[in-house]
Structure 1
Amino acid sequence: MPKTVYVIRDDFYHPKEVIDPEISKVFNPNEWNVVLTNRLRDVLESEQSIDLTMLFTVGRPDGENDITHEEQNRFIARVKDGMGVMFVHAGLVLIEEDSPFYQELNSGRFLGHSHDHVPVVNVPIRNVSHPILEGITGFTAMDEHYYCQVDVTSTDMLMLSTSEVVTAACAWAHTVGKGKVVGMTPGHTTEALGNPQMIVLMQNAANWATSQNHV
């Protein structure tokens, strides 16, 4: 039986025309039922079983209010019950330091980024072994380099990213209740998001995040 993933994407800076073609490479249609939307609230309003939510944006379209702490807590409850979640690139934005999404769920949040697209080297951390890193040797791509605050006491650091300015967190993962959480920073450009290594990284993360809650 296919797994169900809600992919939250499409805003002014991260349009679906850039994201959707790469998403089609990540999820095999024989294994996944892919629901594409620009609203995180669609997950909260859905009564169906959802195996994975993948956030490429904050999921708050123009005209809607920010996701409240109460709504974040409702989302976290679904994760604790076994839903996996991936925060990719702009999905890390608008997470405040005192918010449930940072303190109880993702352990990472966006602080800033490079002013231009720059070469970013994304590599696994030495001597770190994790299913998400299977087959990942690292890749370099022109990208918008994200700088994130990550609570390293509550997550497992997997990868680092380096540009001419700084070395920063690239990918991390941990469990929350029965659910699994993944954060990763690359993916603003087609060159980065569509890099074969990035596709494998997202596939590995999606499979790991749903590895124990689907039969």
Structure 2
Amino acid sequence: MLKTVYVVRDDFYHPKEVIDPEIAKVFNSNEWNVVLTNRLRDVLETEQQVDLTMLFTVGRPDGEADITHEEQNRFIAKVKDGMGAMFVHAGLVLIEEDSPFYVELNSGRFLGHSHDHVPVENVTIRNVSHPVLEGITGFTAMDEHYYCSVDVSRTDMLMLSTSEVVTAACAWAHSVGSGKVVGMTPGHTTEALGHPQMIRLMQNAANWTTGL
């Protein structure tokens, strides 16, 4: 059965010209109806069934107000009803500590990043097994290393990322109601986002969150 995924992407620091070619690699089968947008509100406003929302940005284009807590709660209601949610790199930005996205959805929240592109080693956590990790052996790429706060009491930590500065959360996954949520921090550069292991990681996450 055809699955509909809304891919929220395209801002000044994360342009669609960088992201879209890699998205095409992730959803390269006829199982997916891919809707590309720069507005998270499109997911809230559409009447069609959305099986997965994938956020590469905060989903608030220039000129629009930030996503409100009420709108976040409407998004969370869709997840609890079975919609999958993936937060990739800049999709983790502008999530406040007291916001529904963190308190209820636990997508993790961005705290800071390396000042330059640095070698970042992304590895699976020892003795952790999860469908999102199928075929994943880890990878190193020049990237903007993200540092995130993740409530590890409410999610399954899957991967860690290490740069010359620090070891931090890389990927995590859990269920919220009938829906499933995945967060992952890599993907600022084409080298990182387009790495075959990152493509496989995103494919695995898309399949797991939608039951494929």
Unaligned runs of 5+ residues in structure 2 are none
Partner of 1:106: 106
In the alignment, is residue 154 of structure 1 matched against residue 154 of structure 2?
A: yes
CA contact (8 A) 1:4 1:49 kept: yes
- CA–CA distance in structure 2, aligned partners of residues 28 and 79 of structure 1: 24
The answer to whether residue 95 in structure 2 is matched with residue 95 in structure 1 is yes
Corresponding position of 1:181: 181
Which string of whole-angstrom CA distances, capped at 9 and with x for unpartnered residues, describes residues 12-48 of structure 1? 0000000000000000241100000000000000111
| Residue identity opposite 1:54 in structure 2 | M
Aligned residues of 1:136 and 1:201 also touching (Cα < 8 A): yes
Residue type matched to 2:162 in 1? Answer: T
CA distance, structure 1, for counterparts of residue 97 and residue 175 of structure 2: 19
1:30-69 equivalent positions in 2, closer than 5 A: 30-69=30-69
In 2, Cα distance between equivalents of 1:118 and 1:28: 29
| Partners of 2:107 and 2:134 in 1: CA distance | 23
For the residue of structure 1 that corresponds to 2:48, the secondary structure is coil
Q: Take 2:106 and 2:63, find their aligned partners in 1: how far apart are those partners?
A: 26
Q: Within 2, Cα distance between the matches of 1:200 and 1:30? A: 17
Give the Cα separation in 1 of the matches to 2:74 and 2:18: 30
Match of 2:192 in 1: 192
**2:169 paired with 1:166:** no
Does residue 134 (structure 1) correspond to residue 134 (structure 2)? The answer is yes
Q: Is the 8 A contact 2:106 2:154 kept in 1?
A: no
Query: Match for residue 202 of structure 1?
Result: 202
**Cα separation, 2, equivalents of 1:107 and 1:156:** 11
What's 2:125 paired with? 125
1:26 alignment partner in structure 2: 26
Unaligned runs of 5+ in 1: none
Opposite residue 22 of structure 2, the aligned amino acid is E
Query: Closer, same or farther in 2 for the Cα pair 1:42/1:107, shift >3 Å?
Result: closer
Deviations 1:55-83 (A, max 9, x none): 00000000000000000000000000000
Match of 1:82 in 2: 82
**Structure 1 residue runs of 4+, over 6 Å off?**
none
Taking every aligned residue pair, what percent have the same amino acid on both sides?
89
Deviates more, 1:36-45 or 1:102-111: 102-111
Aligned partner of 1:4 in structure 2 is 4
Q: 1:107·1:154 contact (CA, 8 Å) conserved in 2?
A: no
Rounded to whole Å, the distance in 2 between the matches of 1:72 and 1:135 is 33
**SS of residue in 1 equivalent to 2:11:** coil
- Measured in 2, the distance between the counterparts of 1:69 and 1:39 equals 16
Correspondence for 1:144? 144
Report the TM-score when normalising by structure 1.
Answer: 0.98
DSSP-derived class of the 1:126 partner: coil
Shift of 1:107: 4.2
